[in-house]
Chains A and B, each alone.
Chain A
Amino acid sequence: MAGADSPSAALQRRDLCARGIRLAGKMRADVVDLLEAYAERQGLDASASVAAVEGVPAAAVERWDEQTGTQRLVENLAAYRAFRALLAQMLEEHREQLGEADAALGRALAAVLLQVSAFAYHLEELLRLESRGPPAEEEEEDEEEEEEADGPPPQPLGLFEQKLRGLGVLRELAQWAVRSARDLRQLAKPSPGSGSAPSLAESP
């Protein structure tokens, strides 16, 4: 962990955080636009309450201010890897259902998928800097295979369920983009220890 404390590592972390914050901001703006377009195309209300969708990482977190820097990065990375797979699936479904009929929406989905992939890579770089290294994706896939072996294979979703899930994916992704910017700002703060996170001062 000595590497994470050196001045050059601190500067590199700050620089990566700053770029990550800009990436997250751009990503959020694009996801919000995509969410509105997606809801309109699918005949859904973008603001309607949607129950938590299985497999979509929820951005909601308790005691956010008490998380360590490493916790933030690990949770963010797990989320964006999941979104990468979910968006790829949405893109595939979109192409199967509409083909070239709604190319603009397809392009917008692809663009967001690219940003999500780039952000995931960015998080991996930050984790390497923390001398932790990112958790291997293969481990997560193995865990998923083990879980699947325990129960019956998931039923394919109907068209309406696919649309609702898509809405849920984009909505949670928009939340994550905001959370990620906040997480990176916390990470960029100078702190005495590599894993400690400053907490908000309590006041009446």
Chain B
Amino acid sequence: FQYARVGADVTMKCGSMDWDAAVTWTVNGTDIDESHLNGSYLILKNVDLMQSGQYFCYEGSSWHLKYQTYLRVGTPPKEPVLMCRSNNYPKGFYCSWHLPTPTYIPNIFNISVIHGTKEMVCEKDAVLKNRCHIRYLQLFSTVKYKVTLTVTNALGKNFTTLTFDEFAIVKPDPPESVVAKPVPNNPRRLEVSWQNPSSWPDPESFPLKFFLRYRPLILDQWQHVELSDGTSHTITDAYAGKEYIIQVAAKDNDIGTWSDWSVAVHATPWTEEPKHLTTEAQITETTSASTSSFMAPPTTKICDKGAMVGSGAVAVCWTAGLVVAAYSVLFI
């Protein structure tokens, strides 16, 4: 392998051939024009990424292979982006990294984690190449952690350092299995329940608190509720008949920061079926088939990702939006 920086000039010698020997250079099986030759030397000026490839040099008449090399054009690494977070407190934390721009050549990352004077082991993630995990050896320490990430490739080196407290990086994963249901015979209520993130190891000793936000699809403003315990909540001020979007976030009761918002769920409060739409035939059929004369609106509905508009936590279904808009025209 041979490495060259983008924009550099590269000179390749055809092995032990004399300068004035007749040679042919090829790259990826294609002959290189003689204008790039200085005697038997191949001169590549101001190389770019497209000039990466396998280069061969053949003796003029015999076509004996005299030299080969794989040229990789790339860049030295920029300062890497490093992030550390504890989503499984008090077990430990992980650090993840990436380069802000690709180098197009192989890079080696080296991470060091120091707590006071002690160097800690960062175990590689089983799946992700750019992540490693540290187990806490001490808890409740005021001594900061210092994490240094160095990235090296054939063209250069760079590094970044993060310093933080044990508490500052604690950020749980979002709550899981969020479910929102209408409450029968209650047109302004929605029952919401969720579970602790499965990555949080000991919610009994390290309880989480939660933040619920909800709004009707037709409005932009969120309502917020902070809940210090429990994994359920009843919304009691929903607008009757309007579809709602609901999300939940979690935070350790005492330390750290809020999680990202959970996956959004949709629900519409219970509504009484309009009596004027019911025909005699339907009354007869309903009476004979079931004791209940009302159809409850659908329960939790999660939008298909393909039907979503917007990104992150504020996303709206196209179909839901159209339905609500239609109802809005009728009833508002």
A and B bind: yes
Residues of chain A touching chain B, judged by Cβ–Cβ distance below 8 Å, are 25, 28, 49-50, 58-62, 64-65, 171-172, 175-176, 178-179, 181-182, 185-186, 189, 200-201, 203-204
Q: Tell whether B101 is near chain A: CB-to-CB under 8 Å.
A: no
A178 to B254, CA, bound (A): 7
Q: Which residues of A contact B254 (CB under 8 A)?
A: 25, 28, 178, 181
- Tell me the count of chain B residues lying within 8 A, CB to CB, of chain A: 21
Taking the closest CB of chain A, its distance from the CB of B324, in whole angstroms, is: 42
Contacts of A25 in B (CB 8 A): 254
Q: Is B201 an interface residue (CB 8 A)?
A: yes
Residue from the list A176, A185, A200, A203 in contact with B140, Cβ < 8 A: A176
Interface of chain B: mostly helix, strand, loop or mixed: loop
Nearest A residue (CB) for B144: A49
Contact A201 B138 (CB under 8 A): no
With A64-B90, A178-B167 already in contact, the answer to whether A59 and B141 are too (CB < 8 A) is yes
Quote the shortest CB–CB distance from A113 to chain B (angstroms).
20
Residues A179 and B139 in contact, CB atoms below 8 Å apart: yes
Interface residue? B202 (CB, 8 A): yes
Is B142's CB within 8 Å of the partner chain A?
yes
| Top-10 shortest CB links A-B | A60-B141, A59-B140, A179-B140, A64-B139, A185-B205, A60-B138, A175-B140, A178-B254, A62-B138, A186-B205
Decide if A178 touches B140 in the complex (CB within 8 Å): yes
Is B255 an interface position by the 8 A CB rule?
Answer: yes
Chain A residues in 8 Å Cβ range of B201? 200-201, 203
- Contact, CB under 8 Å: A60 / B204: no
Q: Given A181-B254, A200-B201, A201-B201, verify A60-B207 contact (CB < 8 Å).
A: no
Q: Which residues B245-278 have CB closer than 8 A to chain A?
A: 253-255
Residue contact B138 to A61, C-beta cutoff 8 Å: yes
Q: Digit string of B35-74 for contact with A (CB within 8 Å is 1, else 0)?
A: 0000000000000000000000000000000000000000
B247 to chain A, nearest CB (A): 26
| A56 CB, nearest partner CB in chain B, Å | 10
Q: List 24 A-B contacts (CB under 8 A).
A: A28-B254, A50-B142, A58-B142, A59-B140, A59-B141, A60-B139, A60-B142, A60-B143, A61-B139, A64-B90, A171-B142, A175-B140, A175-B142, A176-B140, A179-B139, A179-B140, A181-B253, A181-B254, A182-B206, A185-B205, A186-B205, A189-B204, A200-B90, A200-B201
Smallest CB–CB gap between A177 and chain B, Å? 9
B137 within 8 A of A: yes
Residue of B nearest to A182 (CB): B205
Residues of A near B141 (CB, < 8 A) are: 58-60, 175
Q: In the assembled complex, which residues on chain A have CB atoms less than 8 Å from the CB atom of B140?
A: 59-61, 64, 175-176, 178-179
